[in-house]
Amino acid sequence: MDRDPHPSSTETAYLGLDELRGRLARGSVTSVSLVETLLSRIAALDGADSPCALRSVVATSASVLDEAAAADQTRSRGGSAGALAGIPVLVKDNIEVVGLPSTAGSTALYGRPPRADAELVARLRQAGALVLGTTNLSEWANLRSSRSTSGWSAVGGLCANPWAFERSAGGSSSGSGAALAAGLSPLAIGTETDGSITCPASLNGVVGIKPTVGTVPTVGVVPISASQDSPGPMARSVAEVAALLDVLAATTGTAVRAAAGIEGCRVGVAITWRTGHPGTDELFDDAVAHFTRAGAVLIEVAAAMPGPAEGDDELTVLLAEMADDLGAYLAARPGEGARSLAELVAFNEAHASDELGAFGQEHFTAALALGGRRSPTYAEARRRNLDWALRTCLGPALAGVDVLVAPAYAPAWKSDLLLGDRPEGASPVTTAPAICGWPVATVPMGLVGGLPVGLSLVGRPGSEGLLLACAQAVEDGAGLLAAGLLRPTWLPPGRG
Residues labelled catalytic: 92, 172, 196
- Cα–Cα distance between 230 and 141 in angstroms, integer? 12
Catalogue the E-assigned strands of 175-259: 187-192, 207-210, 230-235
Judge contact between 176 and 203, C-beta under 8 A. Answer: no
- Cα–Cα distance between 122 and 118 in angstroms, integer? 6
Choose among 84, 99, 69, 90: nearest CA to 137. 90
Judge contact between 272 and 305, C-beta under 8 A. Answer: yes
Q: Are strands 160-161 and 451-458 parallel, antiparallel or unpaired?
A: unpaired
Judge contact between 182 and 54, C-beta under 8 A. Answer: yes
Farthest CA pair distance, the chain: 62
Element (H, E) at 157: strand 157-158
Total Cβ atoms within 10 A of residue 259: 14
- Cα–Cα distance between 207 and 61 in angstroms, integer? 25
Element (H, E) at 276: none
SS3 assignment, position 220: coil
Catalogue the E-assigned strands of 121-280: 130-135, 152-153, 157-158, 160-161, 164-168, 187-192, 207-210, 230-235, 266-270
- Cα–Cα distance between 100 and 133 in angstroms, integer? 7
CA 455-456-460 angle, to 5 degrees, is: 155
Q: Measured between alpha carbons, how far is residue 213 from residues 59, 83, 188, 363 in Å?
A: 28, 23, 19, 23
Q: Measured between alpha carbons, how far is residue 254 from residues 246, 249, 335 in Å?
A: 6, 9, 39
Q: Are strands 297-301 and 403-407 parallel, antiparallel or unpaired?
A: unpaired
My answer on whether omega of the bond before 168 falls inside 30° of 0, hence cis, is no
